[in-house]
Amino acid sequence: MLSGLMKFLRACFWPRGDGHVHTGSDASGRQDGLLWYKDTGQHFNGEFSMAVVQANFLLEDQSQIESGCLSLHDSGPFGTFVGVYDGHGGPETSQYINDQLFQHLKRFTSEQQSMSVEVIRKAFQATEEGFISLVTKQWPMKPQIAAVGSCCLVGIICNGALYIANLGDSRAVLGRLVKATGGVLSIQLSDEHNASIESVRQELHSLHPDDSQIVVLRHNVWRVKGIIQISRSIGDLYLKKAEFNREPLFAKFRLREPLRRPILSSDPSISVHQLEPHDQFVIFASDGLWEHLSNQEAVDIVQNHPRSGSARRLVKVALQEAAKKREMRASSVKSHNLSVKGGGVKLPPKSLGS
């Protein structure tokens, strides 16, 4: 039995010539066994491609593409929203994010009448606060919900800019055309929050100077408090609030010492990138994809093949690489504890300025 999950979502957008606006998310697609895919779909700025391979167990992850008006007012602004929510411990947090984050974003965008880093940060904060309220209500009947959490990667295309916000270890990678060579260079856009990264461990030590066990190396894997690899998330309230780190929560989640301050953070890393003509596409993926493909390998796969079905193609390559590492056939990987998600995005800046 394979250990761990490989989860992948990729979204690629291509230019369109009809000038028509498609709004909302489009979940229609085709099923082929455990493979779900949508080779080409329409969104505000062009087209996208998605694919998912999911094993037969509880789905803890969610993803969404919303397109059109990004506020509660018909006047805009307009653009495209991509979300990848890599859940752990259960499905509740990722489902809550999927239901609430974009709605909060629209509300704050309406109040400010524009898209901004502040709007995105407020939307993340409101989502975390809403989930805290949900856990507080359910705690007496369902205490284990305090141990459920999710990474959260968001990309927003609006007025010629690409906003990237991240909690956890999902990743957004840009494919940029190099005119001198004709090749496409991979550029990582997101910051990751995983204890395997030295800078993350240093940040944790600086925030918790009185705790020598804030990060622990076990079986060659760095974990926060020896429990979890990520340092930022939505949810995981047992590592954020003392009232949720006690009985009747399972003992394996409870800390031996009192929780004096939040160990995990819900403050996202946010960056803004002004799109340029040589920016070709962006890949959004949860951590499992990057365990099997480098940034450049993933970018090359997207660049060197037809746009239709590119997500399905990338998912299959990831499965093949996973199988090679485990000396298995790709067809066998699907039946094990392995999940692959894919969706796709090409970014022509001239069509993104609405």
| Mean pLDDT on 25-38 | 70
- Determine the average pLDDT of the residues in 175-183: 92
- Predicted local distance difference test score (pLDDT) of residue 57: 62
Alpha-carbon distance of 93 to 61, in angstroms, equals 9
Q: What is the mean pLDDT of residues 3-8?
A: 32
Give the residue carrying structure tokens 């399972």.
250
pLDDT of 217 above 70: yes
Whether 347 shows a pLDDT value over 90: the answer reads no
Lowest-pLDDT range, 13-17, 238-242, 253-257? Answer: 13-17
pLDDT for the residue 45: 66
Q: Are 97 and 125 in contact (CB under 8 A)?
A: no
Residue 62 bridge partners (DSSP): 85
Q: Please state, for a pLDDT cut of 70, what percent of the chain lies above it.
A: 81
Which of 28-37, 253-262, 326-335 has the weakest average pLDDT?
Answer: 326-335
Find the mean pLDDT for residues 28-43.
76
> Is the per-residue pLDDT at 76 higher than 70?
yes
pLDDT value for 56:
45
pLDDT value, residue 339: 42
User: Residue 136: is its pLDDT beyond 50?
Assistant: yes
Global pTM reads 0.87
Separation CA 163–CA 342 (nearest Å)? 20
What's the Cα-to-Cα distance from 166 to each of 151, 163, 255, 311, 345, rounded to whole Å?
8, 10, 26, 22, 17
Task: Report the alpha-carbon distance of residue 81 to residue 282 in Å, rounded.
Answer: 13
pLDDT of residue 330: 54
Find the mean pLDDT for residues 38-55. 72
pLDDT for residue 287: 84
Residue 351's closest CA among 279, 270, 298, 271? 279
Within 10 Å of residue 143's Cβ, how many Cβ atoms? 18
What rounded mean pLDDT belongs to the chain? 83
Range with the largest mean pLDDT of 37-41, 162-166, 175-179: 162-166
Q: Which range is most confident: 237-241, 330-334, 341-345?
A: 237-241
CA distance 253 to 259: 12
What confidence score (pLDDT) does residue 126 get? 99
Q: Is the pLDDT of residue 29 over 70?
A: yes
- State mean pLDDT over 62-67: 87
The whole-number average pLDDT for the span 278-292 is 85
Is residue 239's pLDDT more than 80?
yes
Fold of 30-194+268-351: Phosphatase 2c; domain 1 (3.60.40)
pLDDT of residue 14: 39
The pLDDT value recorded for residue 328 is 59
- Beta-ladder partners of 128: none
Mean predicted confidence (pLDDT) in 166-185: 94
The domain limits of the chain are 30-194+268-351
Q: Identify the pLDDT of residue 38.
A: 79
The first and second tokens of residue 53, run together, are 């391979």
Q: What is the pLDDT of residue 20?
A: 32
Nearest to 62 by CA among 150, 1, 129: 150
Q: What is the pLDDT of residue 341?
A: 46
Taking 50 as the threshold, does the pLDDT of residue 12 lie above it? no
SS3 of the chain: the string is CCCCCCCCCCCCCECCCCCCCCCCCCCCCEEECCEEEEEEEEECCEEEEEEEECCCCCCCCEEEEEEEECCCCCCCCEEEEEEEECEECCCHHHHHHHHHHHHHHHHHHHHHCCCCHHHHHHHHHHHHHHHHHHHHHHCCCCHHHHHCEECEEEEEEECCEEEEEEECCCEEEEEEECCCCCCEEEEECCCCCECCCHHHHHHHHHHCCCCCCCEEEECCEEEECCCECECECEECHHHCCHHHCCCCCCHHHCCCCCCCCCCCECCCEEEEEECCCCEEEEEEECHHHHCCCCHHHHHHHHHCCCCCCHHHHHHHHHHHHHHHHCCCCHHHHCCCCCCEEEEEEECCHHHCCC
CA atoms within 13 A on the CB side of 195: 23
pLDDT at 1 over 70: no
d(CA 5, CA 55): 9
The pLDDT of 65-85, averaged and rounded, is 92
| Nearest one of 3, 6, 8, 5 to 312, comparing CA atoms | 8
Q: How many residues does the chain have?
A: 354
> What local confidence, expressed as pLDDT, does residue 108 receive?
98
Cα separation, 268 vs 282, whole angstroms: 19
Q: What is the pLDDT of residues 103-134, one digit of tens each?
A: 999 999 999 999 999 999 999 999 999 999 99
Quick one: tokens of 31? Answer: 């099923």
